[in-house]
Amino acid sequence: MKSYWVDKTNNGIDRLIIKGKDLLAISSHQYRTKELQNPHSKVSAFVDSVSISAAVNEKLPFYYHQLFVGKYNAPNTPLKNRSREIELFNRAYNNYESGKKGAILFTGEEHSGISYLIENILNSNEFDSVLQLDKPLLLFGDSKRLVERAFKTASGMNLGVDEIIKKLPNKTVIVIEDLELWWTRTEEGIKVLEYFNQLIKKYNHKVLFLISCNSHCYQLVRQLVDIDSNLLETIMLLPLKIHEIKRAIMSRHRSGGLRYEWKGKEEKELSNRKENQMIKRIASVSKGNIGASFYTWLGNIDDIEKNTLIYSSIEQEELPFVLSLDLDSVLLQILIHKELSISRLQLIYKYETKENLLYRLESLFRMGLIEEIGLKNYKINPFVSVFVVDYLRKKELIS
């Protein structure tokens, strides 16, 4: 009887040893072959780890998805989580009212809520007249005609830009959002920036220009055009605080009618401390970027069971440093311009063949770093945008 229990114990120990050796062998093999993995596969695996899976996306109700990635109308009262930025605007606007002239520029990271803030400012102030220019559909041809077309469409006047501005009521607010979409990094493209700068300088006594662009575009533009000398204020959107991100996520989540589970515990069983730990990880990954935090919330859902979002972790890895310099360069141009078509890329890389540029775009697309919007027009995948910025910053391609 004694030998039976000894044998049973020894057999159990042997099984544990064998299992341990198997795991060690697998781990050792993975470590030895890690460098042999295709760079595309490494990046694709990373992108998959931070993006919502097809299986989860199919289960997730459309309305819940839209709560986090859809476009919202800004409220008519000032945003509490942007009190600093609104204070800067109010101070600049008061200076404008008292006779100081210039434009106001809003900038920040992509998905930080620049357009939402501008809309909130427009909604919560009683400006006598507002003219919003729609982004151009095509960026070819004479720069002045490009801007003139936008002014004609916005104002409904079939006149030149100067005539239109002269006919506008005094102190009209002219909104030019997404400046990065108005130009291409070429000699001809810079003429658009110069023309806008000339209009600001010429008519800052009559109208107030509100301009926006991402911070990486702004850093480049100010080197190409002396726009800073024509600005009353540059308003940089700062990262949100953890409690502000929590409020934004949870208000959307709770209006969506679903529950969530974190590391095996249902939402109602989680202490405030445990919930805060989860939100802190999301804030850490998103760098306080409100839009990025929404994508992080969706991208880390493991599964959906019985109307419950299942979370086991918040992915905090980095984008692998395996891209070629050519791919880095194209990724940087898309970041600066917000979106780029193959035609615009050809203008930027005028000594490159269309085939080479298409190959680079297709490589980035295949890895999941960019996504196609329209016909051969690309932007950075929003699920990885914050990781791409961090990657390019560590490569010292942006500051």
Q: Both tokens of residue 364?
A: 């980035």
pLDDT digits (tens, 9 = 90+) for 126-162: 999 999 999 887 666 677 888 999 999 999 999 999 9
In the structure, what pLDDT confidence band is assigned to residue 13 with cuts at 50, 70 and 90?
low
Q: Is residue 147 a part of any domain in this protein? A: yes
pLDDT digits (tens, 9 = 90+) for 297-309: 999 999 999 999 9
Q: Is residue 379 a part of any domain in this protein? A: yes
For the ranges 17-31, 84-98, 198-212, 353-367, which has the lowest average pLDDT?
17-31
Q: Is residue 155 a part of any domain in this protein? A: yes
Q: Both 130 and 160 in a single domain?
A: yes
Q: Report whether 111 contacts 290 (CB < 8 A).
A: yes
Q: Both 350 and 295 in a single domain?
A: no
Other Cβ atoms less than 10 A from the Cβ of 8: the count is 10
Which domain-ending residue is among 236, 251, 266? 236
Q: Both 124 and 202 in a single domain?
A: yes
Q: Is residue 28 a part of any domain in this protein? A: no
Q: Is residue 245 a part of any domain in this protein? A: yes
Q: Is residue 30 a part of any domain in this protein? A: no
State how many domains the chain has.
Answer: 3
Which structural domain range is residue 343 located in?
325-394
Q: In residues, how long is the chain? A: 399
∠254-260-261 over CA atoms, to 5°? 155
Tell how strand 265-266 and strand 308-311 pair up: unpaired
Q: Is residue 246 a part of any domain in this protein? A: yes
Q: Is residue 136 a part of any domain in this protein? A: yes
Q: Both 231 and 134 in a single domain?
A: yes
CA–CA separation, 184 vs 342, rounded Å?
A: 12
List of residues 6+ apart from 290 with CB closer than 8 A? 111, 112, 113, 240, 244, 245, 248
Which domain-ending residue is among 283, 311, 339? 311
Which domain-ending residue is among 236, 252, 278? 236
Partners of 209 in beta bridges:
174
Nearest to 70 by CA among 298, 301, 314, 304: 298
Residue 347's pLDDT is: 92
Q: Both 172 and 95 in a single domain?
A: yes
Q: Both 62 and 129 in a single domain?
A: no
